[in-house]
């Protein structure tokens, strides 16, 4: 046991199960302090996430109390300046888990060098992934650009691996404090009261994540392959915000799923695989975080139209399935995957607005926002990503609605103005010429673009590629 204090740098790891770095700290030190660095500018355009982080800190603090470990939140302007100050002390060792984003991995390298030069003990552990981001490679050692062979290789590699040593978090005898000027987690909440609505839908704790996983495996995984396409039913796991913030480790998901032999397991784990693939992509091809993965899209003539962009953001496009999705996003900080694809395609192809605008809006509103999945998801939709949808595939919002929300239940839930519109017209309400039921242009907007014309325009514009 080291006499020094063990510090654990908490990022997206709000869990005690499979928190490798925290386990190391408690196994090596009698006295352990967990610290979280609140860097305000990191959340400037990620407002919804402030709520999740604030609530996660609150819950995790309670959890760590049971282990006699304090969680201290420190407001910083830059990680670098904070660590320069910290490194003036020498009474600690430090531990953290990897976050698989280039900005964090680059910082890990920088910090490692400084810690080594000061002779301070540290350990960086595996983060929330099955494989490390740079482990899955083609036989010629280059990174994969296509999902299917990536996942085949990734699964095999993971199965062959000796499992990471799963040490438990140990309860410490005495709780101590380490830092001065500690911030209360409530100070992280966004200024706007928008987040109040989230309280009804989400409970950001590790217990809740495990419960959600168990319920999903027990009653929904069997039908996952089909049910995942229908936004009016809860057919998916809804685990994404918990995974993003590390309330659950994907290894736990893998293990729990593989304990049972049910239909749906393999499809579900393939989706976890997409997350791994996206992390591999952004680390191997970091240029895609700033622009198009595929450079030939750099010359694409995107349109700038604030009026249309705002109609899209507010869910006032006149296309019910698009509007339902955008309003679901704003209301609960989450949107169904099928609908993410539909609203994305609508923005990029029907409105010809740069995918980056959509990426920015999602970043601000999603509780599950993560750099890898969001940037890759948007570039998949636009057709400019690795292994993306072909650019000439244009989702028809009317037919998508009729196929995946046949009864119009999803639309009626999020777009209550349409609640009396008969099923036949629910995805094309402008064709219903009955003003007693709905006045198009007054109760609900006229379509902001005509589908057929927008489709033709997009196909023409995309010829440049
Ligand atoms: C334009 C666009 C933007 C997106 N932005 C994000 C984002 O910021 N954060 C995010 O986590 N996902 C994003 N996705 C992927 C996907 O929509 C969500 O992960 C999924 O809807 C989350 O719901 P769930 O947990 O019920 O998923 P489930 O179907 O239960 O899947 C389980 C888990 O697998 C992962 N996963 C599922 N689908 C995908 C996918 N297509 N790509 C990558 N990982 C996936 C997620 O971690 C998810 O929680 C985006 C998709 C699109 C089309």
- pLDDT per position as a tens digit, 349-381: 999 999 999 999 999 999 999 999 999 999 999
**Ligand 1, closest atom to CA 371?**
8
Are 42 and 82 within 8 A, CB to CB? no
Q: What strands, in cross-sheet order, belong to the sheet with 32-39?
A: 70-76, 32-39, 5-10, 92-97, 122-125
Cα 95 to averaged position of ligand 1 atoms, centre (Å): 29
- Kindly tell me if the per-residue pLDDT of 162 is higher than 80: no
HSE (CB half, 13 Å, CA atoms) of 337?
18
User: In this predicted structure, what is the pLDDT of residue 254?
Assistant: 96
User: In this predicted structure, what is the pLDDT of residue 112?
Assistant: 98
Distance, in Å, from the CA atom of 132 to the CA atom of 303, rounded to the nearest integer, reads 39
Average pLDDT for 118-127: 97
Out of 1.25.40.80, 3.90.1150.170, 3.40.1280.10, 1.20.950.20, which CATH number does the structure's domain 128-164+195-284 have?
1.25.40.80
User: In this predicted structure, what is the pLDDT of residue 464?
Assistant: 83
Question: Is 50 a pocket residue for ligand 1 (Cβ < 6 Å)?
Answer: no
- Kindly tell me if the per-residue pLDDT of 403 is higher than 90: yes
In the chain, what are the domain boundaries? 5-127, 128-164+195-284, 295-464
Question: Is 369 a pocket residue for ligand 1 (Cβ < 6 Å)?
Answer: yes
Average pLDDT for 397-407: 98
Are 35 and 21 within 8 A, CB to CB? no
Cα 65 to averaged position of ligand 1 atoms, centre (Å): 32
Residue 158 phi/psi, 5-degree rounding, is -65, -40
Are 114 and 13 within 8 A, CB to CB? no
Identify the weakest region by mean pLDDT among 89-103, 151-165, 223-237, 338-352: 151-165
**Among the listed residues 108, 82, 286, 262, the one whose alpha carbon sits nearest the alpha carbon of residue 183:** 82
Look up residue 450 and give its two tokens.
């005509």
Protein residue closest via CA to atom 43 of ligand 1: 275
Average pLDDT for 251-258: 96
Give the pLDDT band (50/70/90) at residue 167. confident
Protein residue closest via CA to atom 34 of ligand 1: 272
HSE (CB half, 13 Å, CA atoms) of 29?
29
**Ligand 1, closest atom to CA 363?**
8
User: In this predicted structure, what is the pLDDT of residue 133?
Assistant: 87
User: In this predicted structure, what is the pLDDT of residue 465?
Assistant: 81
CATH of region 5-127: 3.40.50.620
User: In this predicted structure, what is the pLDDT of residue 393?
Assistant: 87
Give the pLDDT band (50/70/90) at residue 204. very high
**Ligand 1, closest atom to CA 272?**
34
Mean pLDDT score of the chain, rounded to an integer?
96
Average pLDDT for 203-219: 97
Give the pLDDT band (50/70/90) at residue 191. confident
- Same CATH topology for 5-127 and 128-164+195-284? no
Cα 18 to averaged position of ligand 1 atoms, centre (Å): 22
User: In this predicted structure, what is the pLDDT of residue 40?
Assistant: 86
Average pLDDT for 181-205: 93
Collapsing DSSP to helix, strand or coil, 263 comes out as coil
pLDDT in tens, 411-450: 999 999 999 999 999 999 999 999 999 999 999 999 999 9
Average pLDDT for 375-390: 92
User: In this predicted structure, what is the pLDDT of residue 161?
Assistant: 87
User: In this predicted structure, what is the pLDDT of residue 192?
Assistant: 78
Neighbour tally for 26: CB within 10 Å: 25
CATH 3.40.1010.10 holds for 295-464 = no
Question: Is 279 a pocket residue for ligand 1 (Cβ < 6 Å)?
Answer: no
pLDDT in tens, 260-318: 888 999 999 999 999 999 999 999 999 999 999 999 999 999 999 999 999 999 999 99
User: In this predicted structure, what is the pLDDT of residue 165?
Assistant: 73
Distance, in Å, from the CA atom of 69 to the CA atom of 300, rounded to the nearest integer, reads 53
Are 185 and 73 within 8 A, CB to CB? yes
Give the pLDDT band (50/70/90) at residue 28. very high
> Where is pLDDT greater, at 193 or 18?
18
The pick from 147, 377, 380 for probing ligand 1's pocket by mutation, whose C-beta has the most ligand atoms within 8 angstroms, reads 377
Distance, in Å, from the CA atom of 68 to the CA atom of 171, rounded to the nearest integer, reads 6
Neighbour tally for 131: CB within 10 Å: 17
Give the pLDDT band (50/70/90) at residue 117. very high
Residue 273 phi/psi, 5-degree rounding, is -60, -35
* End-to-end Cα separation, the chain, in angstroms: 61
Distance, in Å, from the CA atom of 357 to the CA atom of 347, rounded to the nearest integer, reads 9
Question: Is 239 a pocket residue for ligand 1 (Cβ < 6 Å)?
Answer: yes
Give the pLDDT band (50/70/90) at residue 385. very high
User: In this predicted structure, what is the pLDDT of residue 331?
Assistant: 96
């Amino acid at each position: 046991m080291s006499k020094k204090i063990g510090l654990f740098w908490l990022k997206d790891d709000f869990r005690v199960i499979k928190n490798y770095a925290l386990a190391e700290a408690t196994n090596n030190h009698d006295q352990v302090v967990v610290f979280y660095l609140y860097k305000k500018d990191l959340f400037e355009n990620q407002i919804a996430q402030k709520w999740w982080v604030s609530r996660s800190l609150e819950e995790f603090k309670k959890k760590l109390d049971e282990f006699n470990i304090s969680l201290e939140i420190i407001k910083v302007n830059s990680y670098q300046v904070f660590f320069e100050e910290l490194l003036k002390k020498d009474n600690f060792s430090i531990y953290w888990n990897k976050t698989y984003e280039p900005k964090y991995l680059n910082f890990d390298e920088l910090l490692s060098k400084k810690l080594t030069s000061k002779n301070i003990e540290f350990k960086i552990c595996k983060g929330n992934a099955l494989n490390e981001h740079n482990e899955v490679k083609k036989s010629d050692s280059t990174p994969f650009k296509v999902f299917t062979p990536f996942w085949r290789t990734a699964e095999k590699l993971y199965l062959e691996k000796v499992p990471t040593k799963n040490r438990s978090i140990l309860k410490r005898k005495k709780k101590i404090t380490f830092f001065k000027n500690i911030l209360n987690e409530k100070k992280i909440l966004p200024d706007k009261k928008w987040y109040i609505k989230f309280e009804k839908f989400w409970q950001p704790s590790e217990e809740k994540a495990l419960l959600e996983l168990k319920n999903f495996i027990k009653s929904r995984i069997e039908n996952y392959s089909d049910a995942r396409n229908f936004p009016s039913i809860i057919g998916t796991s809804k685990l994404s915000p918990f995974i993003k913030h590390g309330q659950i480790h994907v290894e736990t998901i893998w293990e729990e799923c593989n304990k049972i032999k049910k239909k749906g397991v393999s499809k579900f784990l393939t989706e976890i695989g997409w997350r791994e693939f996206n992390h591999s992509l952004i680390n191997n091809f970091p240029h895609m975080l700033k622009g198009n993965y595929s450079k030939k899209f750099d010359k694409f003539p995107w349109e700038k139209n604030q009026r249309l962009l705002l109609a899209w953001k507010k869910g006032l496009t006149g296309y019910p399935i698009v509007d339902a999705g955008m309003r679901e996003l704003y209301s609960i900080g989450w949107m169904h995957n099928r609908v993410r694809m539909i609203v994305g395609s609508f923005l990029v192809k029907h409105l010809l607005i740069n995918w980056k605008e959509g990426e920015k809006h999602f970043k601000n509103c999603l509780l599950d926002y993560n750099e890898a999945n969001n940037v890759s998801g948007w570039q998949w939709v636009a057709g400019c990503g690795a292994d993306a949808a072909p650019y000439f595939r244009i989702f028809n919002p009317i037919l998508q609605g009729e196929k995946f929300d046949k009864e119009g239940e999803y639309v009626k839930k999020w777009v209550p103005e349409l609640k009396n519109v008969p099923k036949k017209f629910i995805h094309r309400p402008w064709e219903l010429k009955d003003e007693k039921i709905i006045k198009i242009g007054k109760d609900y907007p006229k379509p902001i673009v005509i589908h057929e014309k927008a489709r033709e325009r997009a196909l023409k514009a995309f010829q440049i590629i």
